Amino acid sequence: MSEWGVPSVQAVVKVGDTVSDIREGRNAGVRSLGVLEGSSVMGITQAAYETLSAEKKQAALDRARQMFLEAGADDVLLNIEQLPAWIQAND
């Protein structure tokens, strides 16, 4: 980290779409974020997700969000496009 000018582990964020990603970040002592859309945690393909009703999509997102939080995620993003705003808000 020092080679890249990163002052501490508090300045590092591990972003992932699996429970293992979240656990890796927690074990490393860095903030960990889960990403819902496209996540294998949802247990369905993107094509199958897109065919779901709004109610079923929300239920799948809620289940995946809970799994990330139970694994120790500091926060959960709907998609990776939300990451820059999250970093700015939490820097």
Q: Domain ranges for the chain, please list them.
A: 2-79
Rounded to 5 degrees, φ, ψ at 81 are: -65, -20
Alpha helix ranges (H) inside the chain: 19-28, 46-51, 54-70, 83-90
- Identify the CATH homologous superfamily for domain 2-79: HAD superfamily/HAD-like (3.40.50.1000)
In whole angstroms, what is the distance from residue 83 CA to residue 1 CA? 21
Model pLDDT, residue 32: 98
pTM here is: 0.88
C-alpha dist (Å) from residue 46 to 28, 43, 86: 30, 10, 24
Model pLDDT, residue 25: 96
Model pLDDT, residue 1: 66
Model pLDDT, residue 91: 80
In whole angstroms, what is the distance from residue 69 CA to residue 90 CA? 18
**Mean pLDDT in consecutive groups of 10 residues from the start of the chain, 91 residues:** 75 94 96 94 91 96 97 97 96 80
